[in-house]
Amino acid sequence: MLKRLMTSDSAENSIMQTITIAVSAILIASGLVTAPGLINNARDNNAKTNLSNIAYAQEYEMADKGAYAPSLALLNSGEGVKVTVENPARVGIVLSRPGEKSCYVAFSESASGRMFFRSCESNTTREIPKEWSATAPTGFPASVSWPTLKSDVLGNLSPDFSTWVLKNGATYNADSDSITLTNSASTAYSALIPVNNIKSFKIAFDGMLPQMMTDSDKNRIIVQTHYFKADGVTPAYNLGGTGPNQGPWVTNGNAPVFSAANTWQRVTSILGTELTAPTPEIKYVRVSFAISSAYSQPGVSIRNNSFTVGY
């Protein structure tokens, strides 16, 4: 029933968009409205449609599995309703705190700059003030923690590893949604991630090493960001940084150290922390995990990856 409803709504949205375009053309021709105003209105409607589609899929997820999905990627990873949104880097999902009433909040930022949210508690889409507040806005569920920063929710892509390109012996385990790098040449690459004038790129993931080595440099996993121009193929340069860290770089990397063997450990790497306005040519980012004879060991595993794009 829910799938049928989604299809019906999609068709209705297409019809309404066609009507809106026709009416808009008449209004522009008559001088009653301006083209920029209509463009921003269309952008806002796209952001609101993102939230409507997520809401339908989340209710299906709850009915089917008894829990809401914590990210767009995981929402799309099962057998339920698939959600397509405009610019996934500007969409985010936050769940309620452990032990409290199960709920979700979905966020969507319009290309106009306006920000909206919708939750399990209401069918109403609400706008968030442009200046991100330290306290939750009206209508925000009490069981969900209000994010400290906008970047804490937007751009959190959390792509599942089934979509990654695995090379030289890297393997994927569908049951645990994890990747294992079996030898020093193994590498795993994400799909291209669309970005625009980003200032930072934060990567969080769980890593597990098969053993602890005396040389601490061997107790690492290499994570890198690779930058591309609008064609998704030509390398782009990160011109940020100062002093010895001054760009240009087509890749930024880090190798977090781990403290125990055969135990999942959560780590966070912030790469390209000074990506700034002088690098507008960066339109896509690709992430990779790897090991090397100098900085790691064969048999490391990675799961629960989360990417946050800072603007």
- Give me the pLDDT at residue 8, please: 42
Whether the per-residue pLDDT at 52 is higher than 90: the answer is yes
Q: Compute, in degrees rounded to 10, the torsion defined by CA atoms 213, 161, 105, 266.
A: 0
Q: What is the pLDDT of residues 108-135, one digit of tens each?
A: 988 888 999 999 999 999 999 888 888 8
Based on the fold, state whether residues 167 and 272 are members of the same structural domain. Answer: yes
Residue 286's domain spans which residues? 161-310
Domain boundary among 151, 172, 206: 151
Q: What is the pLDDT of residue 24?
A: 53
* pLDDT over 50 (residue 1): no
pLDDT of 168 reads 92
Q: Which residue has the higher pLDDT, 203 or 309?
A: 203
- Residue 190 placed within a domain: yes
* Per-residue model confidence (pLDDT) at position 107: 93
Query: Hey, which of 29-33, 56-60, 78-82, 195-199 has the most confident mean pLDDT?
Result: 56-60
Residue 38 pLDDT exceeds 50: yes
73-102 average pLDDT score = 78
Q: Are 276 and 188 contained in the same domain? A: yes
Cα 89 → chain centroid = 5
> Domain check: are 48 and 68 in the same one?
yes
Q: Which of 151, 172, 197 is the last residue of a domain?
A: 151
Indicate the pLDDT class of residue 232, thresholds 50, 70 and 90.
confident
Q: In this structure, are residues 227 and 250 in contact, taking their beta carbons and an 8 Å threshold?
A: yes
CATH of the domain at 283: 2.60.120.260
Query: How much is the pLDDT for 33?
Result: 53
Same domain, residue pair 214 and 247: yes
**Domain count across the chain:** 2
Domain boundary among 101, 130, 151: 151
For the chain, percent of residues with pLDDT exceeding 90: 20
**Same-domain check for residues 200 and 260:** yes
Q: In this model, does residue 10 exceed pLDDT 50?
A: no
Q: Does residue 156 fall inside a structural domain? A: no
Looking at residue 30, its pLDDT comes to 58
Residue 50, pLDDT score: 92
Q: With 90 as the cut, is the pLDDT of residue 105 above it?
A: yes
> Does residue 45 share a domain with residue 9?
yes
Predicted confidence (pLDDT) per residue in 264-301, tens digit: 888 888 776 566 545 677 888 889 999 877 767 788 89
Query: In this structure, are 19 and 119 located in the same domain?
Result: yes
- The answer on pLDDT for 5 being more than 60 is no
**Is pLDDT of 92 > 90?**
no
202 within some domain = yes
Examine residue 174 and state whether it is found in any structural domain, yes or no.
yes
